Amino acid sequence: MIHSTAIVDASAQIADDCEIGPYSIIGANVSIGSGTVVGPHVVIKGPTTIGANNKIFQFASVGDDPQDLKYAGEITHLEIGDSNTIREFATINRGTEGGGGITRIGNHNLFMAYIHVAHDCVIGDHIIMANSASLAGHVTVGHYAILAGFACVHQFCEIGEHAFVGLNSVANRDVCPYTLAVGNYAEGKGINKNGLRRREFTDDAIAALHRAYKVLIRQHGERSQAIASLSDEAAKYAEVARLIEFIEKSERGVVR
């Protein structure tokens, strides 16, 4: 299942049913799980661990050195879970010593052509990064988030679960879960109602999130008072409680 023109380091661990395409290069300390297909002209450097049933298309660069001027050749890692699709010319870098030493990617994600995941990012499950979307270093992306084409996220930002960052948008602050963020710089545009309905959130939960969003994001005033006014909603709806928790823990501030 390994093409005769592929170059595979002797230390690489490749499951017996993997496919490695023509002219691909699999470096030292790379582990690739069962059922994963690596297309032609792919470069994978280690230390990198790739799980089962992933598909990596031609010309992708996975696990190369971080693009950080402080990086001085330290041993750092990339971990990729199961059932991810990594399309053409995607670049996914290993971590840095100062950022914890590891870039982590979960399961069932779609990374379209030309996306970039920088060092020390933490990516959840079921995420879509459309063509040319980019994450700077130390970015966290929650489950089911979507980044539209050419969307960019500033370093150390967090994109909450089920959030949507629009076409050509630049998120320089945290994007709350369940919300829409659009523009350069990104501004909050309300609750991601269509996305939540596709994920089978109830109408009551979506309405509660909409009410909480108006209180927490659109209105001015003391945050503590706004949060206190939502205590009943938070007790009834886990989604509202999560929105409040995210805002309280945000270190960069949230997109408003």
The residues carrying an active-site annotation are: 119-120, 137
Q: Look-up: residue for tokens 């049933």?
A: 53
What's the CA gap between 36 and 15, in Å, rounded?
Answer: 8
Torsion on CA atoms 117, 102, 159, 165, rounded to nearest 10? 10
Spatial CA neighbour of 90 closest among 125, 135, 35: 135
CA dihedral for 102, 94, 247, 250, sign (positive or negative) = positive
Spatial CA neighbour of 93 closest among 63, 61, 135, 129: 63
Spatial CA neighbour of 153 closest among 175, 138, 128, 170: 170
146's CB contacts (< 8 A; 6+ apart) are 127, 128, 130, 163, 164, 165, 195
Q: Look-up: residue for tokens 């909050």?
A: 188
